[in-house]
Amino acid sequence: MPTHQGHEKWFYTMEKPDLRVKKGGFVKTKTLFSCLVLFFGIFFLTQTASSGQPQTSFDYDVLIKGGKVYDGSLNPPFQADIAIKGDRIVRIARSFPGTASTVINAKGVYITPGFIDLHSHVDDGMYFPENRACLNYLFQGVTTVIVGQCGSSAWPIFEKAEDMIKRWSEEGIGPNLALLVGHGTVRQLVIGMENREPTPEEMEKMKALVKEAMEHGAYGLSTGLIYLPGSFAKTDEVLELVKVVRPYGGIYHTHIRNEREKLLEAVKEAIEISEKAGVPSHISHFKVMGKENWGLVKEACSLIEAARERGLEITADQYPYQFSSGYPYQSLVPRSVWLGGEAGNMLNREDIEKIFEHLGDSELIDLYKKVTPYIPLTDRHQKFLNELPRKRLTSLVGRTLMSLQDFQGPENERERMLFLKRMSSPEEAKKIREAVRKNIEENGTENFIIGICVEKNLEGKSLAQAAASKGKSIEDTAIELELMGTKCIPLQMGEEDIEYIIKKDYVGTGSDGTATFYGIGLPHIRSYSTFLHKIKKYALERKAVTLAHAIRSQTSLPASIMNWDDRGWIKEGYKADIVVLDLNNLKIKTSISNPHMYSQGVKYLLVNGKVVITGGKYNGQLPGQVLKLKKS
């Protein structure tokens, strides 16, 4: 716990009052009285100081004493005390005198800059007051996140950047946030979900929306070229919008178009956009998926390095896990195999929208108001709904009220009955088994890990191990597990690829995680552990990189990528975003069977000079700021 620096004793010296008889034999009683008053006054002040009463002024606000400092460089740690006043680091030295209202004893632990998450989706959860602290990130040592990723703006589609900035600034947030404007959001506002090129007029509207966001302080543009509607966009469309951020000194973050067999083409597109727009390109969650594609990252890195040698600013981030997706669990029986020839007879999105077609616009909006979490509706939100074309309004209400996933899989009695009926036919059962085996073997039986299962002894085991313990074939084990609602995770990224990427000096750290509702749902464990997991597994245990390299990848490197000259380092004059980290007691408690577990090891955390974690516990402070890009 930080100690509050008490008063140093105030010591006073004085000569005794001269009580001797003066000339004429008289005692000057006025002088004697004055001396006695002075004596007892000093005595009272001395007792007050020594009794621990609060000191009214200190040299510093926070003193961190005796820690080993990794300053954000590749250099070894050095012993130092660090003084903070306001939101800045004001002094760093081996030892120096001074007082502070909060003193942190860092002896035996390490001090690093606050971690910066280059790729995060916490904006969704942090919209709601419950998640403003973003505790799952604070407990990892994260002090700043870049949001609005994968083509989805950091604010809801019915709002503007200034709305979110105002809300977070007034109500408080845990970590700092920098915002990106999402290409997918912009495209949807102007064109909807149509698969076509924008007209010249539509392109100008899209440019205007990007420019507006940049004027409000957004740091750049993001794309999600694998998602709808971003995947509808051709390179030239993206290029024209990226050009808009150039005068502001903005950056282009991209979830590239392909992370599998066409990885190289996708990386080339990101480089091309950077070169033609004159804007730095940053590749999000850099990886390659699918066992058959492992190794392609080496060629992709060669493309990036050749571009960097030409003077282009191409960087990337990575989360160091072998599995992907915000919801990483997958069926062991592929959807097409599960349905067989019945796909046309199953409920689809169009069916859901038809349910609502007979309702008037006002009735649709009234239904929407009863289920939307964005309450109360702002004037801007209401205006957005009122101006939606009929088809898009129906689609929005349908998606908001009903999810197709509620009608799919082994929990759905109709689909389950039809699947088992097909399994009762020897010919159909043979086809199903062959298709299931083929799907599993593409990734490897050892690379499907059982996360959640009614048979708890199987959790954490591979499908191959489960089949062996049951004495059954891989395909029969997979079908049995599927029917009992087992949730498995496919390891789609190779460990060798992860370590190859992690060693690159232009690859930072990005969690791709969310601000979860604690205990609700099954998020990827990256939301709770990315930063400390990287340090613990790849620096301390596997020694794939040095500890200094791992820390740099999530401090000074991300700050450099975002062009911040006052964060990411332990330097005098820099913002006091600081982690006090106990490397000997790092605990990654989250697992694929129980993802909602906070990491441990961050003893103290400071955001903008304010302590938010004290002795490993959150203290309720919300000192984060919305960082706004200033036009260059």
Give per-residue pLDDT as tens, 321-340.
999 999 999 999 999 999 99
Does 556 lie in the same domain as 604?
Answer: yes
64 belongs to a structural domain? no
Does 435 lie in the same domain as 499?
Answer: no
Query: What's the confidence (pLDDT) of residue 391?
Result: 92
Confidence of residue 41 (pLDDT cuts 50, 70, 90): very low
Does 553 lie in the same domain as 527?
Answer: yes
Q: How many folded domains does the chain comprise?
A: 3
9 belongs to a structural domain? no
Whole-number Å distance between alpha carbons of 93 and 449 = 49
Does 224 lie in the same domain as 144?
Answer: yes
Percent pLDDT > 90 in the chain is 86
Confidence of residue 405 (pLDDT cuts 50, 70, 90): confident
72 belongs to a structural domain? no
Does 501 lie in the same domain as 482?
Answer: no
Residue 78: strand pairing partners = 69
Q: Find the CATH number of the domain harbouring 246.
A: 3.20.20.140
Whole-number Å distance between alpha carbons of 512 and 122 = 9
Does 166 lie in the same domain as 274?
Answer: yes
Tokens of 444: 């490897």
- What is the span of the domain harbouring residue 141? 115-324+493-627
Whole-number Å distance between alpha carbons of 340 and 337 = 5
Does 161 lie in the same domain as 285?
Answer: yes
Report the chain's terminal Cα–Cα distance, integer Å: 42
Strands 626-627 and 176-179 come out as parallel
Mean pLDDT of 435-455: 94
Whole-number Å distance between alpha carbons of 118 and 589 = 23
Whole-number Å distance between alpha carbons of 8 and 70 = 32
Does 417 lie in the same domain as 272?
Answer: no
Does 369 lie in the same domain as 353?
Answer: yes
441 belongs to a structural domain? yes
Which of 461, 490, 519 marks a domain boundary? Answer: 490
Helical packing angle, 200-216 and 183-191, nearest 10°: 140
370 belongs to a structural domain? yes
The 10 Å Cβ neighbour count of residue 6 is: 14
Residues 356-384: pLDDT tens digits?
999 999 999 999 999 999 988 999 999 99
Which of 435, 464, 490 marks a domain boundary? Answer: 490
Mean pLDDT of 436-443: 92
Which of 366, 392, 407 marks a domain boundary? Answer: 407
Residues 124-137: pLDDT tens digits?
999 999 999 999 99
101 belongs to a structural domain? no
44 belongs to a structural domain? no
Give yes or no for a cis peptide into 229 (omega within 30° of 0).
yes
Residues 514-536: pLDDT tens digits?
999 999 999 999 999 999 999 99
Confidence of residue 54 (pLDDT cuts 50, 70, 90): low
342 closest CA partner among 404, 417, 399: 417
Does 266 lie in the same domain as 163?
Answer: yes
Does 416 lie in the same domain as 367?
Answer: no
Does 294 lie in the same domain as 182?
Answer: yes
Residues 135-149: pLDDT tens digits?
999 999 999 999 999
33 belongs to a structural domain? no
